[in-house]
Each structure stands twice: as C-alpha cells, then as structure tokens.
Amino acid sequence: MTPPPPDALAAAPASASRRRLPWTHWSLRRTLLAVLLPGLLLVMGLELMVSWRNDLSAANAAFDRSLLGAIKAMDANISTDSGGLSVELPYRTLEFFELTASGQVFYRVASSDGLVEIGDSGLPPPPLPLVDGRAQFHDAAYFGVPVRVGSYARRLPQPLSQGSHSDRVLIQVAETLQSRQDFTRRLLLENVARDALLLLAALALVTLAVHGALRPLSRLRAEVAARAAADLTPIDPRRVPKDVRPLVQAINTHMQRYQQVLGQQRRFIDDASHQLRTPLTTLATQVGFALREGDAARREAALLAIKEQVDGAIRQANQMLALARADAAPLPAAEAVDLTALAEGVARQLWPLARQHGIDLGLEPLPGAAPVDADAPLPPACAPGHAALLHEALANLLHNALLQVPRGGRVTLHAGVRNGQALLVVRDDGPGMPPEARARAGERFLHVEGSAARGSGLGLAIAQAIVQRHGGALLLDAARPGQPRPGLVATLCWPADTGALQETQG
C-alpha cells in the first residue's frame, strides 16, 4: 500500500476542520441570524401546536358544559310516575340546544338494560362504564356524521314496572362538531395572527440587536483599516463591548510585542550603521595608504594596523549580533547549568588575553560559601538557566574587566548559589566606574570618561539583556570603596528556583 504524500497528510486536518466548522467562513451577523431566525420559527411552530391543543381543550370544555346543561335539563323532565319512562321535553328547549350547538342535536333516554328507549336509539354507547351522577364525554360518529356525545346515568327512585324492571336511567345528548370546529379554528387563527405579529416584532428586535451589537466591531474594523502601516498604538478597549475586550487586549499585546521586535530591529540597524561606518572608512584609508607605500617596513605596519582594525570590527559585529540575540531570540526551556564549570570555561577562553595583558586571572569560591581546600577543585553549583547565553554574558563582563585593569592587576571570577539566587561575579582591582556611570550601566555604546580601554560599549548591555531575560539583574559596585583604584564588582544574579525562573520568562 502506497502511503499518501506529506502534502496530503498536511492538508487533511485543515480540510477536516473546514468540514467540521462551516460557520467559520460566515460573518458573525450571518451566523447569529442563521441561528436565531430558525430558532424563532421553531418556537413559533411549537407554540402553535400547544395553542391548538389548548384551544381544542378550551372549546371542548365550553361546549361540554353546554351538553351537560342539556343533559341536566333533560334529566329534570324525566318522569316515572306511570311506572314507565317518559320525557316531557318542550320543543323550545330542543330548539335552544340546536341553536347553541349551531347544528343538529340528538338525544336518547333509556333504561340501563336498553328495553325502554326514547329519542335517537342509534347513539353510540359511552366507551367506559358510567359512574352514577358523573357525566362522560366522547367523540363518535352517528350515521357517518362526527358528533360529540355526553352520557349521564343515575338511579331511579323506584324500579320501572312497565317494559323494564331497571332502576337506572341513561341520558345521552349528542351534537355535531361544526360549531366546535369553527370556534377552534377561529381561536387558532387569532393565535396565528398574534404569533405572526410577535414573530415579526422578534425578528425586527433580533436584527436591530445584532446590528447594534456588531456596530462597534464594524467601527473598530474601519479604524484599524484606516491606520497607517507604522501605526501600532494600542486600541482603546473601552470603545468595544465587554465580551470583545479580551480580544482587543490580546491584539494590543501582540502589537506591543511586534513594536518591540521592530524597535529591536531598528536599533540593531542604527547601531550597525553607526558603529561599522567608521571602521570601514578607516580600513579603506589604511588600505589605500598601504597600496601607496613603497617601504616594506611601513607597509607591514599598515597591514598590522589593518588587521587590528578588522579584528575590532569583527568583535564589534559579533557583539551587536549577540545583543540582538539576547534581546529577541526565543528562549528554550531552562536547564540545570553548572555555574562553576561555566565560569571555568569562560576563564580558560580568555586566559590568553589575560596573559597578554599581564593580568592575574583566577577562579575562587563565592564569598560567604563553605571553605574548601585551596588545592581541591571547586564544588559544582547548579542553577536553572541557558548555558550559551550565560557564557556570553560572563565572557563580556570578563573581557571588559581585562581591558580596564592595568598590567599587573587582578581579576577574579566567583560562581555559586546563595540565598536562593544564582550568582556569577567578576571582581577586579582596576580604576572602576564612577557612580553616575554605574547608574547608566547597560546603555548601548556607553564609554566611561577617562577610561584608557577602547571598546564598543556593548559588553555591559549584552550582559544586562541576557540576565534580564533570566528574570535577574546586573549589579555593579566598587570592589574597594575609597581606594585610589576602587575596582569593580560586576554581578549577574537571577532566581535559582526553576519555577520562579519559568514564571518570570512566561
């Protein structure tokens, strides 16, 4: 069996979701109307069914009371004085019944055994046994004509003596259904007219409500569409309905992040154009000088100057790229980092530079930690973080210190965990930084006045950006306050708890 191509597999979930969610291609107004209008029609249909049943019950109750009145009137005119069964029913009463029923009226008076009958003998009997003194009503057909029959039975004062010996009499009155049906139809038509008016009013209200509820969204769409491409100002959430505010706030958050990314890119482009223009111009001048120089020794000096300039430009470009990554690169999940091993690796990496400048570079335990043997290796100290970024931050701090400290000076690295904080410390005995410069630490291209070292001014900015992304801070302080050479203590500190670090990054 040949497997389907990857494109088909990738397209399958999307097509399945489109089949499952067809309304995602509809507008919100169309979706609301498509749900509400059929719902209203369904409710109207159900209401008409209930109205029909209620109207039929009401009509039956009203006309059954009329039938019961006819039965009672007929019962009052029954006589058994002669020993037989007789009914003295005036024709006016019968005409009144027919007028009330708006149709034909049939009656039957009989003994319970059926031996004596008066009236229409073919009236159908009641479907259930009669209880004395309680009327029973049912629908039936009399010679093919639908009728409503009311049946009533009671005990006689004494048994009949002529034609039957029954002591129970049965009274039935039936009427045609035309009047009931006309009455019920009239009630139903009135209900239909009423419900139709209510439906039209409901449809109008629903349409107005949907249009009014979506008007702020239409206005929001128009405002966003009319914005300039560079306009990333937040949308005012107070101008939209409360239910849409979380969406507007999410859009504002996204625009804020996008604005930060654009700002970082713009800053990187500005920094690159500002910092690389001068070295490239200088290189062009030095290359032209070397090409024109006829003396071999002076040409070699010019080439050495070019190499030094190229090395500086390369380091400066690498620092700007590192700063861009520290600002915007997505962070992977935090891992356990051996701070001692990390500090040792940075010290080994920059040991040649320290030796070139005649600086004593060492790695010592963190002040305040348990004492260890001077000849024994430092114990590991683990904390959550991102080893590559922390290596870059510590390397920049150490490189700055090696450039600032004069020949014969000392630079010491400390690494460890103390009081729930992970610490990477660079301590030197150089000229240090004045308090006003320490307050501005982290600014791009910051140059301390009077400093003999030459650099791009990005080392502290890179270190601060990296430690801030770890939820920490870069701290600068004098190593020996009040001394001619106060030195500098640069500390990277961030939470040593994995949960706190993840919460800060989230």
Cα distances (angstroms) measured from residue 197 to each of 82, 111, 300, 336, 451: 64, 55, 101, 72, 89
Contact 251, 235 (CB under 8 A): yes
Q: What is the pLDDT of residue 442?
A: 57
Q: How far apart are CA 8 and CA 467, in angstroms?
A: 45
Classify strands 410-418 and 360-364 as parallel, antiparallel or unpaired. Answer: parallel
Residues 6+ apart with CB under 8 A from 494: 383, 385, 421, 422, 467, 470, 471, 472, 473, 501
d(Cα 214, Cα 452) in Å, to the nearest integer?
Answer: 66
Which has the closest alpha carbon to 146: 107, 110, 118, 177?
A: 177
- Look at residue 136 in the predicted model and tell me its pLDDT: 93
Which pLDDT score, from 0 to 100, does residue 36 have?
80
Distance of alpha carbon 382 from alpha carbon 378, whole angstroms: 12
User: What confidence score (pLDDT) does residue 170 get?
Assistant: 93
Q: Determine contact, residues 402/411, Cβ cutoff 8 Å.
A: yes
Q: What ranges do the domains of the chain cover?
A: 23-226, 330-369+379-505
Q: Which residues contact 460 (CB under 8 A, 6 or more apart)?
A: 396, 397, 400, 441, 442, 443, 446, 474, 490
Rounded to a whole number, what is the largest CA-CA distance in the chain?
A: 165
Q: Give the separation between CA 360 and CA 427, rounded to whole angstroms.
A: 12
CB 84, CB 116: distance < 8 Å: yes
Tell me the C-alpha distance between 304 and 300, whole Å.
Answer: 6
- Closest C-alpha among 426, 424, 401, 423 to residue 412: 426
Query: pLDDT 10s per residue in the chain (506 long)?
Result: 444 444 444 444 444 444 554 555 677 777 777 888 888 888 888 888 887 888 778 878 888 888 888 888 888 888 887 888 888 765 666 666 666 656 788 889 998 888 888 888 889 999 999 999 999 999 999 988 899 999 999 998 888 888 788 889 999 999 888 888 888 888 878 888 888 888 888 888 888 888 887 788 888 888 888 888 878 888 888 878 787 888 888 888 888 888 877 776 776 666 666 556 656 776 777 788 778 877 888 878 878 877 877 776 776 676 666 666 655 555 666 788 999 999 999 999 889 889 988 999 999 888 765 454 555 566 678 889 888 888 888 988 998 899 889 999 999 999 999 888 999 999 999 888 888 877 766 565 555 554 444 444 577 887 888 888 888 999 998 888 877 788 899 999 999 875 545 554 55
Look at residue 1 in the predicted model and tell me its pLDDT: 42
State the pairing for strand pair 360-364/136-142: unpaired
Q: Which two tokens stand for residue 197?
A: 């008016």
* Structure token pair of residue 84: 């037989």
Q: Write down the H helix ranges in 102-177.
A: none
Two tokens at 260? 């930060």
pLDDT at residue 17 in the model: 41
Phi/psi for 15 (5° steps) reads -65, -35
Tell me the CA distances in angstroms from 452 to 215, 410, 455, one per residue in order.
65, 17, 10
Round the CA-based radius of gyration of the chain to a whole number and report it: 51
Nearest to 63 by CA among 172, 189, 184: 184
Identify the pLDDT of residue 98.
64
**How far, in Å, CA of 336 to CA of 340, rounded?**
12
From residue 358, give the alpha-carbon distance in Å to each of 203, 411, 446: 89, 11, 26
| Domain 330-369+379-505, classified CATH 1.10.3470.10, yes or no | no
